[in-house]
Homo-oligomer: A and B are copies of this chain.
């Protein structure tokens, strides 16, 4: 058997600890598959939790990142520092030293991936990032390799477990957003500062990566339309349910005649869709491609062990390519670097979706006619309409409508006219609707 592959790990937090645990606990299964041992020889950690469920006996521990990144004995660096500043520096430094890098850092790849992959390409090394999208699910592998024969049409996914947990709880318990967020925080499903998850930033990092590997375009996080779940109410979840839909936070990337769509936002999904049945912290990604048709991938999108599952799978993949000439490896963004195409990204105003609209009105004849006239004037046709007694027992009435597909900018114009109608209470609620079919 060949000598062990030596891995240096930057960061021994939750995911780093999980990675060491999986490599040790499944060492036999891993070397039976890889044909050689894969061992963590060096680790950099500022604080070491001695009560962790793995042994650090054979790991050289240091507080200096450079001790690991510059060590000539190390073949592969696992970057688990988080953030994008030091993580970027260390990744580029490891590449410059001719080392391969495995990372779970979606923010790093989404914002600095183009630079990092170019550096890696020039140096003939691999930067692997399966763990950066949907934790343990092998979705990067499925799209980059499993669907390599296909022209991909769109990808729609539940790719933020925290948001899906909150929406699931809101629906099942009828609780409001703030209460469920607090519960998610106490369970460890949401961070103390939950901004990245609930404002759609984490999902936007993942959509950036999914769009790039699906369509062969550069990574462009800045162009993703980002909308989180903070405005979703238990009332809307209940009305959607009555109409046969679930409200999910969806990341979506799609090939259209105008270019590529990159967007994350709350979305009504028909109950019959498998995506609508994905509950709690689980993730799922549906892909539509020309030869395979629809396929779906479901699993744990976060957590120490699932994320470690992807990191170690990447370590095994990289180990197998150590002797491969770089030109024959799977390209970072699925397509050869010189075959990437800078397709336009469609601005949100130019996107077409159906809509769920909810208006709170004084129970007064006439306002409904005015609303439908405005919609009609903007070529927005209504597919379903229900009038509901308010859930909170107040005197106004909720009018809920589903529209056919409409350009976002037309909807914005219509809403502006509706908003100033007399008898309307507050602003209209609008949530996009996708059939994913």
Contacts and interface: CB of A to CB of B under 8 A. Distances in A.
Contacts of A321: 324, 328
A34 B148 CA distance: 8
A305 interface: yes
Copies assembled: 2
Nearest to A35: B336
B141 A145 contact: yes
Interface in A1-15: 2
A100 to B, nearest CB: 14
A390 interface: no
B298 A293 contact: no
Interface in A117-166: 130, 136-138, 141-142, 145-151
Contact of A136 (B292, B296, B308, B323): B292
A332 to B, nearest CB: 12
Contact of A309 (B138, B150, B216): B150
A308 B293 CA distance: 12
A290 interface: yes
28 contacts: A18-B291, A22-B291, A29-B150, A30-B148, A31-B339, A32-B216, A33-B334, A33-B335, A33-B339, A35-B327, A136-B295, A138-B141, A142-B142, A145-B313, A148-B312, A148-B313, A274-B278, A289-B309, A292-B305, A292-B306, A292-B309, A293-B299, A293-B303, A296-B296, A320-B328, A321-B324, A323-B328, A324-B324
Given A26-B150, A33-B331, 19 more contacts: A2-B327, A29-B216, A32-B335, A32-B339, A35-B328, A136-B291, A136-B292, A136-B295, A141-B141, A142-B146, A142-B297, A146-B310, A148-B317, A150-B309, A274-B277, A289-B309, A295-B298, A295-B299, A322-B328
